[in-house]
Chain A
Amino acid sequence: MNVELTDLTRRFGPTQAVAGVSLQSGPGVFGLLGPNGAGKTSLLRMMATVLPPTSGRMRLLGRDPGDYGPRREIRRRLGYLPQNLGYYPGFTVADFVDYFALLKDMPPGRVPRAVAVAIERVGLADKARTKLRTLSGGMLRRVGIAQAIVNDPDLLLLDEPTAGLDPEQRMAFRALLREMGQRATVVVSTHLVEDVGAACTEVALMDRGKIVFRGTPDQLSARGEGSGAAGDAPLERGYSAVLMTARTAAARS
Protein backbone atom coordinates (compact mmCIF):
# COMPACT_ATOMS: atom_id res chain seq x y z
CA MET A 1 0.00 0.00 0.00
CA ASN A 2 1.35 3.43 -0.91
CA VAL A 3 -1.02 5.28 1.39
CA GLU A 4 -2.04 4.01 4.83
CA LEU A 5 -3.93 6.42 7.04
CA THR A 6 -5.35 5.34 10.37
CA ASP A 7 -7.70 7.55 12.36
CA LEU A 8 -6.02 10.68 11.09
CA THR A 9 -7.20 13.99 12.52
CA ARG A 10 -6.25 17.62 12.05
CA ARG A 11 -7.45 20.52 14.12
CA PHE A 12 -7.10 24.25 13.53
CA GLY A 13 -7.96 25.71 16.91
CA PRO A 14 -11.56 24.78 17.63
CA THR A 15 -12.18 23.63 14.04
CA GLN A 16 -11.74 19.96 13.23
CA ALA A 17 -10.79 19.91 9.54
CA VAL A 18 -10.14 16.17 9.37
CA ALA A 19 -11.92 13.91 11.85
CA GLY A 20 -10.59 10.38 12.09
CA VAL A 21 -9.94 9.44 8.48
CA SER A 22 -8.72 5.92 7.76
CA LEU A 23 -7.71 5.07 4.22
CA GLN A 24 -5.54 2.61 2.36
CA SER A 25 -4.66 2.89 -1.27
CA GLY A 26 -2.33 1.21 -3.73
CA PRO A 27 -1.65 2.09 -7.38
CA GLY A 28 -4.59 3.63 -9.22
CA VAL A 29 -6.41 6.92 -9.46
CA PHE A 30 -8.22 7.77 -6.26
CA GLY A 31 -10.78 10.58 -6.36
CA LEU A 32 -11.45 12.68 -3.30
CA LEU A 33 -14.82 14.37 -3.61
CA GLY A 34 -16.66 16.66 -1.25
CA PRO A 35 -18.16 20.10 -0.79
CA ASN A 36 -16.07 23.15 0.11
CA GLY A 37 -14.71 22.87 3.65
CA ALA A 38 -15.09 19.07 3.74
CA GLY A 39 -11.42 18.61 4.66
CA LYS A 40 -10.07 17.45 1.29
CA THR A 41 -7.30 20.02 1.08
CA SER A 42 -6.21 19.46 4.70
CA LEU A 43 -6.09 15.71 4.09
CA LEU A 44 -4.08 16.19 0.92
CA ARG A 45 -1.67 18.60 2.64
CA MET A 46 -1.06 16.03 5.37
CA MET A 47 -0.34 13.39 2.75
CA ALA A 48 2.01 15.86 1.05
CA THR A 49 3.88 16.13 4.41
CA VAL A 50 3.24 19.87 4.40
CA LEU A 51 0.88 19.75 7.38
CA PRO A 52 1.49 17.50 10.38
CA PRO A 53 -1.56 15.60 11.65
CA THR A 54 -2.90 16.41 15.10
CA SER A 55 -3.28 12.70 15.81
CA GLY A 56 -3.49 9.38 14.04
CA ARG A 57 -1.11 7.23 12.10
CA MET A 58 0.18 7.82 8.61
CA ARG A 59 2.46 5.74 6.42
CA LEU A 60 3.32 6.85 2.92
CA LEU A 61 5.18 4.65 0.45
CA GLY A 62 5.78 2.27 3.36
CA ARG A 63 7.49 4.93 5.48
CA ASP A 64 6.68 7.10 8.46
CA PRO A 65 6.78 10.79 7.45
CA GLY A 66 7.25 11.76 11.10
CA ASP A 67 10.96 10.92 10.91
CA TYR A 68 13.41 13.06 8.98
CA GLY A 69 15.10 10.39 6.83
CA PRO A 70 11.95 8.57 5.70
CA ARG A 71 10.20 11.89 5.15
CA ARG A 72 12.95 13.01 2.81
CA GLU A 73 12.72 9.74 0.89
CA ILE A 74 8.94 10.10 0.63
CA ARG A 75 9.35 13.63 -0.70
CA ARG A 76 11.79 12.45 -3.35
CA ARG A 77 9.08 10.14 -4.67
CA LEU A 78 6.18 12.53 -4.18
CA GLY A 79 4.42 14.84 -6.62
CA TYR A 80 2.17 17.54 -5.22
CA LEU A 81 0.03 20.18 -6.84
CA PRO A 82 -1.36 22.53 -4.19
CA GLN A 83 -4.72 24.23 -4.58
CA ASN A 84 -3.03 27.61 -4.90
CA LEU A 85 0.12 27.19 -6.92
CA GLY A 86 2.54 29.99 -6.18
CA TYR A 87 5.01 30.75 -8.92
CA TYR A 88 7.93 33.03 -9.67
CA PRO A 89 6.71 35.41 -12.40
CA GLY A 90 10.19 35.86 -13.86
CA PHE A 91 10.82 32.12 -14.28
CA THR A 92 10.18 30.40 -17.58
CA VAL A 93 8.12 27.21 -17.66
CA ALA A 94 11.33 25.15 -17.98
CA ASP A 95 13.04 27.11 -15.16
CA PHE A 96 10.11 26.46 -12.83
CA VAL A 97 9.93 22.73 -13.50
CA ASP A 98 13.73 22.50 -13.35
CA TYR A 99 13.77 24.31 -9.98
CA PHE A 100 11.40 21.81 -8.39
CA ALA A 101 13.17 18.86 -9.96
CA LEU A 102 16.32 20.02 -8.16
CA LEU A 103 14.44 20.59 -4.89
CA LYS A 104 13.15 17.04 -5.20
CA ASP A 105 16.76 15.95 -5.06
CA MET A 106 16.77 14.46 -8.54
CA PRO A 107 20.27 13.68 -9.83
CA PRO A 108 21.27 16.84 -11.78
CA GLY A 109 22.25 14.80 -14.83
CA ARG A 110 18.73 13.41 -15.16
CA VAL A 111 16.98 16.72 -14.72
CA PRO A 112 17.05 18.25 -18.26
CA ARG A 113 15.45 15.22 -19.87
CA ALA A 114 12.92 14.80 -17.04
CA VAL A 115 11.95 18.47 -17.39
CA ALA A 116 11.47 18.05 -21.14
CA VAL A 117 9.34 14.92 -20.64
CA ALA A 118 7.13 16.63 -18.03
CA ILE A 119 6.62 19.73 -20.17
CA GLU A 120 5.79 17.60 -23.20
CA ARG A 121 3.31 15.54 -21.20
CA VAL A 122 1.31 18.61 -20.21
CA GLY A 123 1.41 19.96 -23.77
CA LEU A 124 3.47 23.07 -23.05
CA ALA A 125 6.46 22.36 -25.28
CA ASP A 126 5.81 25.50 -27.33
CA LYS A 127 5.79 27.56 -24.11
CA ALA A 128 8.86 26.06 -22.46
CA ARG A 129 10.88 29.27 -22.73
CA THR A 130 7.94 31.56 -21.92
CA LYS A 131 7.90 33.54 -18.66
CA LEU A 132 5.23 32.40 -16.24
CA ARG A 133 3.87 35.93 -15.85
CA THR A 134 2.55 35.82 -19.42
CA LEU A 135 0.67 32.51 -19.12
CA SER A 136 -3.08 32.04 -18.67
CA GLY A 137 -4.56 30.41 -15.55
CA GLY A 138 -5.07 27.10 -17.36
CA MET A 139 -1.48 27.07 -18.59
CA LEU A 140 -0.18 27.82 -15.11
CA ARG A 141 -2.18 24.88 -13.82
CA ARG A 142 -0.48 22.70 -16.41
CA VAL A 143 2.91 24.04 -15.31
CA GLY A 144 1.94 23.01 -11.79
CA ILE A 145 1.09 19.53 -13.02
CA ALA A 146 4.43 19.37 -14.88
CA GLN A 147 6.41 20.10 -11.71
CA ALA A 148 4.34 17.50 -9.85
CA ILE A 149 5.14 14.73 -12.35
CA VAL A 150 8.73 15.71 -13.20
CA ASN A 151 10.19 13.09 -10.83
CA ASP A 152 7.83 10.38 -12.11
CA PRO A 153 6.37 10.09 -8.60
CA ASP A 154 5.07 6.98 -6.89
CA LEU A 155 2.57 9.11 -5.00
CA LEU A 156 0.93 11.97 -6.87
CA LEU A 157 -1.35 14.34 -4.98
CA LEU A 158 -3.35 16.83 -7.01
CA ASP A 159 -5.62 19.44 -5.45
CA GLU A 160 -8.22 20.72 -7.92
CA PRO A 161 -5.96 19.97 -10.90
CA THR A 162 -8.55 20.71 -13.58
CA ALA A 163 -9.44 24.21 -12.34
CA GLY A 164 -9.03 26.55 -15.29
CA LEU A 165 -8.48 23.83 -17.89
CA ASP A 166 -10.63 23.89 -21.03
CA PRO A 167 -12.60 20.75 -22.00
CA GLU A 168 -9.94 19.51 -24.43
CA GLN A 169 -7.18 19.92 -21.85
CA ARG A 170 -9.30 18.21 -19.23
CA MET A 171 -9.78 15.16 -21.45
CA ALA A 172 -6.05 15.00 -22.12
CA PHE A 173 -5.38 15.44 -18.41
CA ARG A 174 -7.68 12.55 -17.54
CA ALA A 175 -5.72 10.38 -19.99
CA LEU A 176 -2.52 11.44 -18.23
CA LEU A 177 -4.06 10.53 -14.86
CA ARG A 178 -5.04 7.07 -16.09
CA GLU A 179 -1.53 6.55 -17.43
CA MET A 180 0.09 7.69 -14.16
CA GLY A 181 -2.33 5.52 -12.18
CA GLN A 182 -1.04 2.35 -13.86
CA ARG A 183 2.05 2.47 -11.67
CA ALA A 184 1.59 5.15 -9.03
CA THR A 185 -1.02 6.10 -6.48
CA VAL A 186 -2.72 9.23 -7.74
CA VAL A 187 -5.00 11.08 -5.33
CA VAL A 188 -7.11 13.78 -6.96
CA SER A 189 -9.11 16.19 -4.87
CA THR A 190 -11.90 17.77 -6.87
CA HIS A 191 -15.46 18.96 -6.70
CA LEU A 192 -16.04 18.07 -10.36
CA VAL A 193 -17.72 14.67 -10.39
CA GLU A 194 -17.21 14.24 -14.13
CA ASP A 195 -13.41 14.12 -13.58
CA VAL A 196 -13.96 11.30 -11.10
CA GLY A 197 -16.19 9.35 -13.45
CA ALA A 198 -13.76 9.65 -16.33
CA ALA A 199 -10.44 9.01 -14.60
CA CYS A 200 -10.79 7.44 -11.16
CA THR A 201 -10.78 3.77 -10.29
CA GLU A 202 -11.92 4.51 -6.77
CA VAL A 203 -13.57 7.42 -5.03
CA ALA A 204 -14.06 8.69 -1.49
CA LEU A 205 -16.56 11.35 -0.54
CA MET A 206 -15.70 13.61 2.39
CA ASP A 207 -18.05 15.71 4.44
CA ARG A 208 -17.22 17.66 7.60
CA GLY A 209 -13.83 16.03 7.92
CA LYS A 210 -15.04 12.44 7.57
CA ILE A 211 -15.16 9.96 4.75
CA VAL A 212 -18.84 9.22 4.26
CA PHE A 213 -18.51 7.01 1.19
CA ARG A 214 -15.84 4.89 -0.41
CA GLY A 215 -16.22 2.76 -3.50
CA THR A 216 -16.03 2.82 -7.27
CA PRO A 217 -17.59 5.62 -9.34
CA ASP A 218 -20.25 3.11 -10.44
CA GLN A 219 -21.11 2.34 -6.83
CA LEU A 220 -21.44 6.06 -6.14
CA SER A 221 -23.74 6.44 -9.14
CA ALA A 222 -25.83 3.53 -7.89
CA ARG A 223 -26.43 5.33 -4.59
CA GLY A 224 -28.33 8.00 -6.48
CA GLU A 225 -30.69 5.67 -8.31
CA GLY A 226 -34.26 6.15 -7.17
CA SER A 227 -33.17 8.41 -4.33
CA GLY A 228 -34.71 11.51 -5.78
CA ALA A 229 -31.44 13.36 -5.08
CA ALA A 230 -30.58 16.44 -7.13
CA GLY A 231 -28.11 16.22 -10.02
CA ASP A 232 -27.82 16.24 -13.81
CA ALA A 233 -25.80 13.04 -14.08
CA PRO A 234 -25.84 9.68 -12.24
CA LEU A 235 -22.61 10.54 -10.36
CA GLU A 236 -23.98 13.89 -9.27
CA ARG A 237 -27.16 12.24 -8.01
CA GLY A 238 -25.08 9.65 -6.15
CA TYR A 239 -22.97 12.43 -4.66
CA SER A 240 -26.06 14.34 -3.50
CA ALA A 241 -27.72 11.19 -2.12
CA VAL A 242 -24.66 10.20 -0.06
CA LEU A 243 -24.25 13.73 1.30
CA MET A 244 -27.95 13.92 2.16
CA THR A 245 -27.83 10.59 4.00
CA ALA A 246 -24.65 11.54 5.88
CA ARG A 247 -26.05 14.87 6.98
CA THR A 248 -29.36 13.38 8.05
CA ALA A 249 -27.52 10.77 10.12
CA ALA A 250 -25.28 13.48 11.65
CA ALA A 251 -28.32 15.59 12.55
CA ARG A 252 -29.98 12.63 14.29
CA SER A 253 -26.94 11.69 16.36
Chain B
Amino acid sequence: MTGNPAGPGSGRGVAPRDVDLDRVWLGVAGEVWLRRPRRLERMAALLLRSPGLARALVATPSLLLAWVIATALVLTVGAAATLGTGTPYVALFAPAVAGAGIAYAYGPGIDPAWELGQSMAVGDRMVLLVRALAVFGLNAAFGLAASVASGVAAALAFGWLVPMTAVCMLALATSTLAHSANVGAAAGMASWVITVLAGKAATGSLTSVITDSAFILPYLAVALCCGALALYATRIPRGTS
Protein backbone atom coordinates (compact mmCIF):
# COMPACT_ATOMS: atom_id res chain seq x y z
CA MET B 1 0.00 0.00 0.00
CA THR B 2 1.22 3.48 -0.57
CA GLY B 3 2.50 4.79 2.71
CA ASN B 4 2.25 8.38 1.60
CA PRO B 5 -0.85 10.01 3.06
CA ALA B 6 -0.68 12.77 0.48
CA GLY B 7 -1.56 10.23 -2.17
CA PRO B 8 0.06 8.52 -5.10
CA GLY B 9 2.79 10.21 -6.97
CA SER B 10 3.28 13.01 -4.49
CA GLY B 11 6.79 13.96 -3.50
CA ARG B 12 8.11 13.58 -7.01
CA GLY B 13 9.31 17.15 -7.08
CA VAL B 14 8.21 20.70 -6.39
CA ALA B 15 5.77 22.12 -8.89
CA PRO B 16 3.53 25.11 -9.27
CA ARG B 17 0.11 24.63 -7.67
CA ASP B 18 -1.74 24.50 -10.96
CA VAL B 19 0.22 21.43 -12.15
CA ASP B 20 -1.31 18.22 -10.87
CA LEU B 21 1.72 15.97 -10.75
CA ASP B 22 -0.33 13.01 -9.58
CA ARG B 23 -2.47 13.16 -12.67
CA VAL B 24 0.53 13.61 -14.95
CA TRP B 25 2.44 10.79 -13.30
CA LEU B 26 -0.49 8.37 -13.48
CA GLY B 27 -1.02 9.19 -17.14
CA VAL B 28 2.63 8.54 -17.89
CA ALA B 29 2.75 5.38 -15.75
CA GLY B 30 -0.34 4.01 -17.44
CA GLU B 31 1.25 4.41 -20.87
CA VAL B 32 4.64 3.10 -19.79
CA TRP B 33 3.25 0.02 -18.03
CA LEU B 34 0.71 -0.70 -20.73
CA ARG B 35 1.07 -4.06 -22.37
CA ARG B 36 0.81 -3.67 -26.14
CA PRO B 37 -1.48 -6.41 -27.48
CA ARG B 38 0.02 -8.45 -30.31
CA ARG B 39 -1.61 -8.52 -33.71
CA LEU B 40 -3.38 -11.82 -33.00
CA GLU B 41 -4.96 -10.41 -29.84
CA ARG B 42 -5.99 -7.22 -31.59
CA MET B 43 -7.62 -9.27 -34.35
CA ALA B 44 -9.38 -11.47 -31.80
CA ALA B 45 -10.61 -8.36 -29.96
CA LEU B 46 -12.09 -7.04 -33.21
CA LEU B 47 -13.61 -10.38 -34.09
CA LEU B 48 -15.04 -11.08 -30.65
CA ARG B 49 -15.91 -7.41 -30.05
CA SER B 50 -14.42 -7.71 -26.56
CA PRO B 51 -10.81 -6.89 -25.57
CA GLY B 52 -11.37 -8.85 -22.33
CA LEU B 53 -12.41 -11.98 -24.16
CA ALA B 54 -9.45 -11.59 -26.53
CA ARG B 55 -7.06 -11.34 -23.58
CA ALA B 56 -8.70 -14.40 -21.98
CA LEU B 57 -8.18 -16.24 -25.25
CA VAL B 58 -4.45 -15.58 -25.42
CA ALA B 59 -4.13 -16.75 -21.80
CA THR B 60 -5.58 -20.20 -22.64
CA PRO B 61 -3.39 -22.83 -20.90
CA SER B 62 -3.60 -25.23 -23.84
CA LEU B 63 -2.68 -22.52 -26.32
CA LEU B 64 0.58 -21.67 -24.55
CA LEU B 65 3.69 -22.16 -26.66
CA ALA B 66 4.87 -25.30 -24.84
CA TRP B 67 1.50 -26.99 -25.34
CA VAL B 68 1.30 -25.97 -29.00
CA ILE B 69 4.82 -27.33 -29.62
CA ALA B 70 3.91 -30.60 -27.87
CA THR B 71 0.78 -30.95 -30.01
CA ALA B 72 2.75 -30.28 -33.18
CA LEU B 73 5.40 -32.79 -32.08
CA VAL B 74 2.87 -35.57 -31.45
CA LEU B 75 1.25 -35.03 -34.83
CA THR B 76 4.63 -34.82 -36.57
CA VAL B 77 5.62 -38.15 -35.05
CA GLY B 78 2.23 -39.47 -36.15
CA ALA B 79 2.87 -38.24 -39.70
CA ALA B 80 6.33 -39.88 -39.73
CA ALA B 81 4.88 -43.15 -38.43
CA THR B 82 2.19 -42.99 -41.07
CA LEU B 83 4.76 -42.52 -43.79
CA GLY B 84 6.80 -45.44 -42.41
CA THR B 85 4.02 -47.94 -41.80
CA GLY B 86 1.12 -46.88 -43.96
CA THR B 87 -1.20 -46.87 -40.96
CA PRO B 88 -2.87 -43.44 -40.59
CA TYR B 89 -1.63 -42.69 -37.08
CA VAL B 90 -2.26 -38.96 -37.46
CA ALA B 91 -5.95 -39.66 -37.86
CA LEU B 92 -5.85 -41.89 -34.78
CA PHE B 93 -3.83 -39.47 -32.62
CA ALA B 94 -5.58 -36.24 -33.55
CA PRO B 95 -8.91 -36.81 -31.71
CA ALA B 96 -7.18 -37.76 -28.45
CA VAL B 97 -4.74 -34.84 -28.62
CA ALA B 98 -7.53 -32.36 -29.36
CA GLY B 99 -9.73 -33.81 -26.59
CA ALA B 100 -6.95 -33.26 -24.05
CA GLY B 101 -6.41 -29.72 -25.35
CA ILE B 102 -10.07 -28.89 -24.92
CA ALA B 103 -10.19 -30.33 -21.40
CA TYR B 104 -7.19 -28.20 -20.42
CA ALA B 105 -8.50 -24.99 -21.97
CA TYR B 106 -10.32 -23.64 -18.93
CA GLY B 107 -11.50 -24.61 -15.48
CA PRO B 108 -10.59 -25.00 -11.84
CA GLY B 109 -7.05 -26.17 -11.27
CA ILE B 110 -6.12 -25.36 -14.87
CA ASP B 111 -6.78 -21.68 -15.22
CA PRO B 112 -4.98 -20.11 -12.26
CA ALA B 113 -7.44 -17.26 -11.90
CA TRP B 114 -10.55 -19.31 -12.55
CA GLU B 115 -12.47 -18.27 -9.42
CA LEU B 116 -11.67 -14.63 -9.99
CA GLY B 117 -12.69 -15.02 -13.62
CA GLN B 118 -16.11 -16.24 -12.51
CA SER B 119 -16.84 -12.89 -10.89
CA MET B 120 -16.09 -10.92 -14.04
CA ALA B 121 -18.52 -9.14 -16.35
CA VAL B 122 -17.16 -11.11 -19.32
CA GLY B 123 -18.88 -14.41 -18.53
CA ASP B 124 -16.91 -17.56 -17.86
CA ARG B 125 -19.13 -19.50 -20.26
CA MET B 126 -18.08 -17.17 -23.07
CA VAL B 127 -14.44 -17.60 -22.09
CA LEU B 128 -14.88 -21.38 -22.11
CA LEU B 129 -16.62 -21.42 -25.50
CA VAL B 130 -14.14 -19.11 -27.17
CA ARG B 131 -11.16 -21.00 -25.80
CA ALA B 132 -12.65 -24.39 -26.74
CA LEU B 133 -13.32 -23.20 -30.28
CA ALA B 134 -9.81 -21.79 -30.61
CA VAL B 135 -8.17 -24.98 -29.34
CA PHE B 136 -10.36 -27.10 -31.60
CA GLY B 137 -9.56 -24.91 -34.61
CA LEU B 138 -5.83 -25.04 -33.97
CA ASN B 139 -5.84 -28.81 -33.48
CA ALA B 140 -7.92 -29.33 -36.58
CA ALA B 141 -5.47 -27.19 -38.58
CA PHE B 142 -2.48 -29.08 -37.20
CA GLY B 143 -4.18 -32.40 -37.86
CA LEU B 144 -4.98 -31.47 -41.42
CA ALA B 145 -1.42 -30.29 -42.03
CA ALA B 146 -0.02 -33.51 -40.55
CA SER B 147 -2.46 -35.57 -42.59
CA VAL B 148 -1.43 -33.85 -45.79
CA ALA B 149 2.24 -34.31 -44.90
CA SER B 150 1.73 -38.02 -44.25
CA GLY B 151 0.40 -38.54 -47.74
CA VAL B 152 -2.55 -40.78 -46.88
CA ALA B 153 -4.66 -38.12 -45.46
CA ALA B 154 -6.66 -36.51 -48.15
CA ALA B 155 -9.35 -39.14 -48.10
CA LEU B 156 -9.25 -39.58 -44.33
CA ALA B 157 -9.17 -35.95 -43.28
CA PHE B 158 -12.88 -35.59 -42.76
CA GLY B 159 -13.06 -39.13 -41.47
CA TRP B 160 -11.18 -38.12 -38.34
CA LEU B 161 -12.56 -34.59 -37.98
CA VAL B 162 -15.99 -35.92 -37.04
CA PRO B 163 -14.75 -38.32 -34.32
CA MET B 164 -12.40 -35.57 -33.16
CA THR B 165 -15.42 -33.32 -32.66
CA ALA B 166 -17.17 -36.05 -30.67
CA VAL B 167 -14.10 -36.72 -28.48
CA CYS B 168 -13.61 -32.97 -27.88
CA MET B 169 -17.22 -32.49 -26.86
CA LEU B 170 -17.04 -35.51 -24.56
CA ALA B 171 -13.88 -34.15 -22.92
CA LEU B 172 -15.47 -30.71 -22.61
CA ALA B 173 -18.70 -32.01 -21.08
CA THR B 174 -16.89 -34.32 -18.66
CA SER B 175 -14.40 -31.72 -17.50
CA THR B 176 -17.19 -29.18 -17.03
CA LEU B 177 -19.46 -31.53 -15.10
CA ALA B 178 -16.64 -33.04 -13.02
CA HIS B 179 -14.93 -29.66 -12.51
CA SER B 180 -11.68 -31.40 -13.39
CA ALA B 181 -9.59 -31.11 -16.53
CA ASN B 182 -7.81 -34.36 -15.68
CA VAL B 183 -11.09 -36.26 -15.58
CA GLY B 184 -12.19 -34.64 -18.86
CA ALA B 185 -8.92 -35.46 -20.61
CA ALA B 186 -8.95 -39.03 -19.30
CA ALA B 187 -12.57 -39.52 -20.39
CA GLY B 188 -11.86 -38.17 -23.89
CA MET B 189 -8.75 -40.25 -24.43
CA ALA B 190 -10.15 -43.41 -22.84
CA SER B 191 -13.33 -43.23 -24.90
CA TRP B 192 -11.31 -42.83 -28.10
CA VAL B 193 -8.96 -45.72 -27.29
CA ILE B 194 -11.95 -47.94 -26.45
CA THR B 195 -13.67 -46.92 -29.69
CA VAL B 196 -10.58 -47.69 -31.79
CA LEU B 197 -10.01 -51.04 -30.07
CA ALA B 198 -13.69 -51.95 -30.31
CA GLY B 199 -13.63 -51.07 -34.01
CA LYS B 200 -10.58 -53.26 -34.54
CA ALA B 201 -12.18 -56.15 -32.65
CA ALA B 202 -15.35 -55.86 -34.72
CA THR B 203 -13.84 -55.36 -38.17
CA GLY B 204 -10.22 -56.40 -37.84
CA SER B 205 -9.07 -52.96 -38.96
CA LEU B 206 -7.53 -50.36 -36.66
CA THR B 207 -8.75 -47.57 -38.89
CA SER B 208 -12.35 -48.65 -39.34
CA VAL B 209 -13.53 -46.04 -36.82
CA ILE B 210 -12.32 -43.28 -39.13
CA THR B 211 -12.98 -44.87 -42.50
CA ASP B 212 -16.41 -46.45 -41.97
CA SER B 213 -19.19 -43.98 -42.72
CA ALA B 214 -21.56 -45.94 -40.46
CA PHE B 215 -19.85 -44.32 -37.46
CA ILE B 216 -20.54 -40.74 -38.52
CA LEU B 217 -24.08 -40.52 -37.17
CA PRO B 218 -23.18 -41.97 -33.75
CA TYR B 219 -20.24 -39.54 -33.54
CA LEU B 220 -22.49 -36.61 -34.33
CA ALA B 221 -25.08 -37.80 -31.80
CA VAL B 222 -22.40 -38.05 -29.09
CA ALA B 223 -21.08 -34.59 -30.01
CA LEU B 224 -24.55 -33.05 -29.83
CA CYS B 225 -25.46 -34.70 -26.51
CA CYS B 226 -22.14 -33.74 -24.95
CA GLY B 227 -22.46 -30.19 -26.25
CA ALA B 228 -25.90 -29.93 -24.67
CA LEU B 229 -24.49 -31.26 -21.39
CA ALA B 230 -21.66 -28.71 -21.44
CA LEU B 231 -24.13 -25.91 -22.06
CA TYR B 232 -26.33 -27.17 -19.22
CA ALA B 233 -23.38 -27.39 -16.85
CA THR B 234 -22.34 -23.81 -17.58
CA ARG B 235 -25.84 -22.35 -17.49
CA ILE B 236 -26.45 -19.22 -15.50
CA PRO B 237 -28.31 -20.26 -12.33
CA ARG B 238 -31.58 -18.41 -11.98
CA GLY B 239 -34.06 -17.88 -9.26
CA THR B 240 -31.79 -16.62 -6.50
CA SER B 241 -34.31 -14.07 -5.44
> Which residue numbers of A lie inside 8 Å of B, CB to CB?
45, 48-50, 52-53, 56-59, 64-68, 71-73, 75-76, 78, 80, 82, 84-89, 92, 94-95, 98-100, 102-105, 108, 112-117, 119-123, 125, 128-129, 142, 147, 168-169, 171-173, 175-176
Contacts and interface: CB of A to CB of B under 8 A. Distances in A.
Nearest to A104: B121
A128 B8 CA distance: 14
A67 B123 CA distance: 13
B111 A86 contact: yes
Interface string B211-225: 000000000000000
Interface of B: 1-3, 5, 8-9, 26-27, 29-31, 33-35, 50-52, 55-56, 59, 111-123, 236-241
In this complex, the member of B1, B26, B236 whose beta carbon has the largest number of chain A beta carbons within 10 angstroms is B1
Contact of A100 (B50, B116, B123, B240): B116
Contact of B51 (A75, A102, A128): A102
Contacts of B236: 68, 71
B30 A102 contact: no
30 contacts: A52-B237, A57-B241, A58-B240, A59-B241, A65-B241, A66-B238, A66-B241, A71-B236, A75-B119, A84-B115, A85-B116, A86-B115, A87-B113, A88-B59, A94-B33, A99-B55, A99-B59, A100-B120, A102-B51, A103-B55, A103-B120, A104-B120, A112-B30, A113-B30, A116-B29, A120-B8, A121-B8, A122-B2, A125-B29, A175-B1
B49 to A, nearest CB: 12
Contact of A88 (B51, B112, B239, B241): B112
A147 B116 contact: yes
A176 B2 CA distance: 9
Nearest to B2: A123
Contacts of A142: 1
A82 B116 contact: yes
A119 B8 CA distance: 9
B33 A75 contact: no
Contacts, number: 143
Given A66-B240, A117-B26, A76 B121 contact: yes
B30 A57 contact: no
Contact of B35 (A66, A88, A94): A94
A73 B122 CA distance: 10
Contacts of A176: 1
B52 A58 contact: no
A86 B114 contact: yes
Nearest to A8: B240
Nearest to A77: B121
Given A66-B237, A120-B29, A172-B1, A105 B122 contact: yes
Contacts of B118: 48-50
